[in-house]
Amino acid sequence: MPKTKGSKNRPKTNITKDYASQIAEKQETIAYLNTEITSITANIDTLKADLKEKKTALKKAEKEAASLEAKKAKAEAKAAEEDKKAEAESVVRRLLASGMSADEILEKLK
């Protein structure tokens, strides 16, 4: 069996560790992280409130846009109906002016 290198008789170095300073460092780190977490949580809460506000504003705007689109469609339909009615009246006037009777005009419209 091979021999191990180095002396087995050398004194063991007993390094005294300063646990108190290490504990203090870790407690400072913990305190810093807790303040960061608190700050981030507060920021998240503010952002959540802003998000909720924006979502309600978006819903309101979408609802108003849909209402305006419905009103626009209704107005366009009404305008188209009026145009159709005016066109029919002008056709009837033209036919009456050309000498057709009302019965003949009715038959042409059918």
Residue 49, φ and ψ in degrees, nearest 5 = -65, -45
- pLDDT tens digits for 1-58? 666 666 666 666 656 678 888 899 999 999 999 999 999 999 999 999 999 999 999 9
* pTM confidence score: 0.52
Residue ranges of domains in the chain: 19-109
Classify 71 as helix, strand or coil.
helix
DSSP 97: H
Q: Based on C-alpha coordinates, what's the Rg of the chain?
A: 45
pLDDT score recorded for residue 39: 97
92, 105 Cβ separation under 8 angstroms: yes
